[in-house]
Structure 1
Amino acid sequence: MRYPLDFEATFSKTYLFWLSKFTRNKITTLSNRNVTDKDRLAQIIQHLAQGSDNIKVLKQWLNDARNIGMGGIHVYFRPLEKLYEYLMRFGAASMREIDEELLSDFLASETSQLSDASKKNYRIALLSFFSYIDKQNSDENGTAYHYGIELKNWGGLGGKGGIKLPSYLNKDEVQRFIAAIDAYEFKTPEIGIRNRLIIKLILYTGIRVGEAIGVKKSDFFKDEDTYVIQVRGKGNKPRVVMIREKIIQSDLLAWLEIHHCHDGLMFCNQKGTKLTQAYLSRIVEQILISAGIRKEKNGCHMLRHTFATLLYQKSHDLILVQESLGHADINTSRIYTHFDKEKLKKTTDIF
């Protein structure tokens, strides 16, 4: 049976619901050759099937499973328990707030003192957990939410292909992409106004797509020739970004004239409800294709990498990049130093 991604009323209950389902699945697939009490194991599996909204109760069940000889389950549970604590500290409100970047932040902060073997276990546990959810969630229309977590860019350990630098647009490609945004034919003029506005907002400020679709109308403030926008990052942490008035003024005024969004949202679909990240990523990819631009990653997050890369190339200020992107750890921002061409050019003069 499949379940909606945000199945329970609160994030805590939803996360523990999925963790119960996942650990039950793992217990039924791990070797049971060393189990000494099959009746107790059957009870534990039944408990997990029913689930628990208390992390301590869930942990006790799995400790009992380990004590009767079910080895290996703690390798999966311990990292996911730590992730739960991490997300609760930052006030997560939905499973949809979890993405590759958040998990990389978590791994960077939580595994710094661990051995390489333990780091690998953390990565395996996260990959297994979100792959399981990918396959088991479904909304009322039968559509599944897909995380697609790979963690290849995590600095602690590389994936099968090693650590990969993020895809981004160079300056020429940015100009072609901007021209393509304005030239692209959307289904309706209203959709075009909205999509141009939100895509330019992501490109020119580097905000996450999840932050963009959650922006409220009341979060926009005019300050001389600039719009100041308050966004809510991971853990509901607020920060401020800025964009020049001339970049969005025409589309912004046109959008406000037809604005019909519920719950105070700035952007919404035709029903007045929140846009999805998947929809915006598809639109960005289609615009890139229309401009003749192909990258390994063509979604909205690539626009965030583009902003950060060009910002670092221009400013050489890693703190500015960290603050602009809302990274909790500066090490997450450090990846963009790999694109400092002026420093790299110095290596060509060694001989």
Structure 2
Amino acid sequence: MQDYLEAFNNYIAVERGLAPNTLESYGRDLRQYLDYLSEKKGIALKETTQATVGGYLLYLQAKGRAASTISRSLAAIKAFYHFLVREQIIQRDPTINLDAPKQEKKLPRVLSVEKVVELLEQPDLKTPAGIRDRSMLEVLYATGLRVTELVSLKISDVNLEEGYIRCVGKGSKERIVPLGTVAVKYLRFYLEHARKFLASDPAEDTLFLNHHGHGLTRQGFWKIIKKYAEMIGAEDLITPHTLRHSFATHLLENGADLRAVQEMLGHADISTTQIYTHLTKNRLKNVYEKAHPRA
């Protein structure tokens, strides 16, 4: 089984170009599934049936796993069996007719424009780290990037003259996202006055650096945004994705085209972007009910 798993990992990394985080989660989910087969059921991989996989999903459900976790596990298992059939290791895919459990779509938390501005104004612009933080937050709100995309940016991805950044998102798909004038202003300020104090290697091309002079990690950024969230009393409201959600919602509330927002967010399917239209409708309804005398 371990040989099959290694071959599969090579396949999805090279041929499907999946992101490192996806590769890691697929590997973790599949190891748990294979452990279940060998330790709980004593079933060889070639002997599995639809009932076997279905039983595993029920097993996860009984352990209290969320529907989103079970769906992700099934996606990994389906991809694995598809690979095994493709390589003629097994003859039949037992997951063909299996559907993931329906997930309740939770509306993302979104900050008001005023709260976003309050958050953006927290970094201390008298220090290189504070200038970096302000620049990062401005870029995040201006572009709606995922945090992984933000910390992966290179200096060469930024075009301040034209006002855009080049970003590589999920599935190694490249997209161009415009920068607003405010984000351009703080990025230029960071590059001209702060980054040189953080850099330890002149050849380092990563845009946002930590105090060791290396590229920031997702965890490093999370600590930064959590600190500023606490400073404005919003630690329960703000996650690394909050500015992304706020970016999309504020654009749609101000009349932006849904397809344009989809492209900027890097969503493969417009149905993913449509959750923000539900959010804006709910917000408009709340405003109406509070403001209209006969609501």
TM-score (norm 2): 0.68
Q: Which residue does the alignment assign to 1:127?
A: none
Distance 1:71 1:217 in 2: 46
Structure 2 CA distance for partners of 1:17 and 1:118, relative to 1, 3 Å: closer
Aligned 8 A contact 1:23 1:73 in 2: no
Distance 1:234 1:71 in 2: 27
Distance 2:31 2:285 in 1: 50
From 19, 28, 32, the equivalent of 1:22 is 32
TM-score (norm 1): 0.58
Q: Which residue does the alignment assign to 1:54?
A: none
By how many angstroms is 1:169 displaced?
1.0
Aligned 8 A contact 1:230 1:240 in 2: yes
Question: How many residues are aligned here?
Answer: 244
Distance 1:233 1:314 in 2: 25
Alignment of 1:15-164 (within 5 A): 18=28, 20-28=30-38, 30=40, 32=41, 41=43, 44=44, 62-66=45-49, 72=54, 79-83=75-79, 118-120=99-101, 156-158=102-104, 163-164=105-106
Aligned 8 A contact 1:66 1:74 in 2: no
Alignment of 1:212-251 (within 5 A): 212-223=150-161, 227-243=163-179, 244=181, 245-251=184-190
Is residue 194 of structure 2 the alignment partner of residue 255 of structure 1? yes
Is residue 210 of structure 2 the alignment partner of residue 269 of structure 1? yes
Q: Which residue does the alignment assign to 2:132?
A: 194
Is residue 233 of structure 2 the alignment partner of residue 292 of structure 1? yes
1:100-120 Cα shifts (integer Å, max 9, x gaps): xxxxxxxxxxxxxx99x8231
Alignment partner of 2:209: what SS? coil
From 322, 325, 334, the equivalent of 2:265 is 325
Aligned 8 A contact 1:27 1:73 in 2: no
Structure 2 CA distance for partners of 1:295 and 1:315, relative to 1, 3 Å: farther
Distance 2:81 2:214 in 1: 30
Structure 2 CA distance for partners of 1:182 and 1:331, relative to 1, 3 Å: farther
Aligned 8 A contact 2:123 2:131 in 1: no
Identity %, equivalent residues: 25
Q: Which residue does the alignment assign to 2:92?
A: none
Alignment partner of 2:165: what SS? strand
Distance 2:142 2:80 in 1: 33
From 171, 178, 188, the equivalent of 2:113 is 171
Alignment partner of 1:119: what SS? coil
Q: Which residue does the alignment assign to 1:336?
A: 276
Give unmatched runs, 5+ long, in structure 2: 1-5, 15-22, 58-69, 83-95
RMSD of aligned residue pairs (Cα, Å): 3.8
Q: Which residue does the alignment assign to 2:89?
A: none
Give unmatched runs, 5+ long, in structure 1: 1-5, 33-37, 45-61, 87-113, 121-155
By how many angstroms is 1:167 displaced?
0.8
By how many angstroms is 1:182 displaced?
4.2
Structure 2 CA distance for partners of 1:219 and 1:344, relative to 1, 3 Å: same
By how many angstroms is 1:218 displaced?
0.7
Distance 1:85 1:266 in 2: 40
Q: Which residue does the alignment assign to 2:247?
A: 307
Aligned 8 A contact 1:206 1:325 in 2: yes
Structure 2 CA distance for partners of 1:209 and 1:78, relative to 1, 3 Å: closer
